[in-house]
Amino acid sequence: MLNHEELQQAVNEIAEEMRARKDRGTVASYIPELAKANADAFGIAIADNHGNVIAAGDADEAFSIQSISKVFTLTLALGKVGDKLWRSVGREPSGSPFNSIVQLESEHGVPRNPFINAGAIVVTDTILSGHQPKEALGEILRFMQFLADDPSIYIDHSVAASEQRTRFRNSALANYMKAFGNLENPVEHVLGVYFHQCAIAMTCRQMAMAGRFLSNSGRNPASNFQVVKPEGSRRINAVMLTCGHYDGSGEFAYRVGLPGKSGVGGGILAIVPGDASICVWSPGLDEAGNSHLGRIALERLAKKMKWSIFGP
Ligand code: GLN
């Protein structure tokens, strides 16, 4: 294990290398507002279980968390309905793109897992039940602020509106699941909450802080608050490992070897169970919609720190 200074040095080197690289992937443009992201940005932050935060690059610049939000809505939904959630969404990797509709027909409107769009829409529906959309969204935002211990975390309404205007695929997924009876609430309400949860803006530092409960058996190491039972965080980490990068999940496990969740804003939250929560951000994506340099940076870091859960 490296000490604090050595880890800071390693992270500085990784940030420098990533900033200099020419291969930067492609910034998402299907949500027009996301296309405005600076392709040259790179940030990294590590929050360890002893209360230290180590950061480098653009770690304090806010980015659109997009699908990383799905980790936190899954946590909330499991807290609300427990294992009943698994009646309406599976927990197997899909091997398909994040916005795919193909499996939904043969699988009767029950999405493969909570991290593809269809599955995340079902999870949001579960949180929404019994509430107004505004209340459900407020609950999600407050949860992020609480976990990161930072009330300044906000929703970027221009990103939400941009996704709302170009929502045709997600509308198709939601309407299709509604036809199978797998959504309780009105489609437009569910999508409204989903788009806004994806439009939450956070920095690498805030996201690494928010993920700490997953590296510490469900307990926030700073406040000692038990966010989920140890068994809950173990299971969420398992779903992150197998499904967190869509049809790139196998490759991420092979190269990085950590539970991780990506978003099309270019962020990745990765968890080192027992040790640390890491967030990297670089807006350029690979073909599967995962941050290109984010993954490479995590591969470097996990190797250096011998952090892969599969061994050194
Ligand atoms: N809001 C995005 C969408 O629904 C999230 C996708 C992602 O981050 N992979 O398309």
Per DSSP, which regions of the chain are E strands?
26-27, 43-48, 53-57, 63-64, 154-155, 200-202, 260-262, 267-272, 276-281, 284-285
Residues 189 and 300 in one domain: no
Residue 312 is assigned to a structural domain of this protein: no
129 lines ligand 1 (CB under 6 A): no
69 lines ligand 1 (CB under 6 A): no
Nearest to 125 by CA among 174, 72, 66: 174
Which helix (H) or strand (E) is 117 found in, with range?
A: helix 117-128
Residue 107 is assigned to a structural domain of this protein: yes
If you search the block for the tokens 């869509």, which residue do you land on? 246
For a mutational test of ligand 1's pocket, the pick from 63, 122, 264, 291, i.e. the residue with the most ligand atoms closer than 8 A to its C-beta, is 264
- State the distance from the centre of ligand 1 to the C-alpha of 262, rounded, in angstroms: 10
Q: Distance between CA atoms of 80 and 236, rounded to whole angstroms?
A: 15
Nearest to 139 by CA among 231, 72, 82, 205: 72
Residues 35 and 138 in one domain: no
Q: In this predicted structure, what is the pLDDT of residue 65?
A: 98
Residue 254 is assigned to a structural domain of this protein: yes
Q: In this predicted structure, what is the pLDDT of residue 92?
A: 98
Residues 77 and 151 in one domain: yes
Which helix (H) or strand (E) is 144 found in, with range?
A: helix 133-148
Residues 80 and 159 in one domain: yes
282 lines ligand 1 (CB under 6 A): no
Half-sphere exposure of 9 (CA within 13 A, CB side): 6
Question: Among the three residues 151, 170, 198, which one is the final residue of a domain in this structure?
Answer: 198
Contact 190, 177 (CB under 8 A): no
First to last CA, the chain: 12
Ligand 1 closest atom vs CA 67: 8
Nearest to 48 by CA among 204, 208, 203: 208
Q: In this predicted structure, what is the pLDDT of residue 3?
A: 82
Contact 247, 283 (CB under 8 A): no
Cα separations in angstroms, 199 against 23, 194, 298: 26, 9, 24
Residue 310 is assigned to a structural domain of this protein: no
Q: What is the CATH number of the domain that holds 152?
A: 3.40.710.10
Residue 145 is assigned to a structural domain of this protein: yes
| Cα of 99 vs its chain's centroid, Å | 15
Residue 144 is assigned to a structural domain of this protein: yes
Residues 120 and 172 in one domain: yes
Residues 85 and 193 in one domain: yes
- State the distance from the centre of ligand 1 to the C-alpha of 47, rounded, in angstroms: 25
Point out which residues pair with 110 in neighbouring strands.
none
Strands 260-262 and 43-48: unpaired
Instruction: Look up the domain containing 217 and give its range.
Output: 4-63+202-305
Q: What is the total count of domains within the chain? A: 2
- State the distance from the centre of ligand 1 to the C-alpha of 84, rounded, in angstroms: 25
Residues 177 and 297 in one domain: no
162 lines ligand 1 (CB under 6 A): no
Question: Among the three residues 172, 198, 224, which one is the final residue of a domain in this structure?
Answer: 198
290 lines ligand 1 (CB under 6 A): no
Q: Distance between CA atoms of 267 and 261, rounded to whole angstroms?
A: 8
Residues 43 and 75 in one domain: no
Residue 311 is assigned to a structural domain of this protein: no
Q: Distance between CA atoms of 52 and 87, rounded to whole angstroms?
A: 39
Residues 76 and 37 in one domain: no
Residues 162 and 235 in one domain: no
Question: Among the three residues 171, 198, 225, which one is the final residue of a domain in this structure?
Answer: 198
Residue 8 is assigned to a structural domain of this protein: yes
Q: In this predicted structure, what is the pLDDT of residue 264?
A: 98
Task: Walk along the chain (312 residues) and give the pLDDT tens digit of each residue.
Answer: 568 888 999 999 999 999 999 999 999 999 999 999 999 999 999 999 999 999 999 999 999 999 999 999 999 999 999 999 999 999 999 999 999 999 999 999 999 999 999 999 999 999 999 999 999 999 999 999 999 999 999 999 999 999 999 999 999 999 999 999 999 999 999 999 999 999 999 999 999 999 999 999 999 988 899 999 999 999 999 999 999 999 999 999 999 999 999 999 999 999 999 999 999 999 999 999 999 999 999 999 999 999 999 999
Residues 301 and 287 in one domain: yes
Dmax over CA atoms of the chain, in Å, equals: 56
Nearest to 124 by CA among 194, 198, 201: 194
170 lines ligand 1 (CB under 6 A): yes
Ligand 1 closest atom vs CA 120: 4
Residues 75 and 11 in one domain: no
Ligand 1 closest atom vs CA 99: 10
Q: In this predicted structure, what is the pLDDT of residue 4?
A: 87
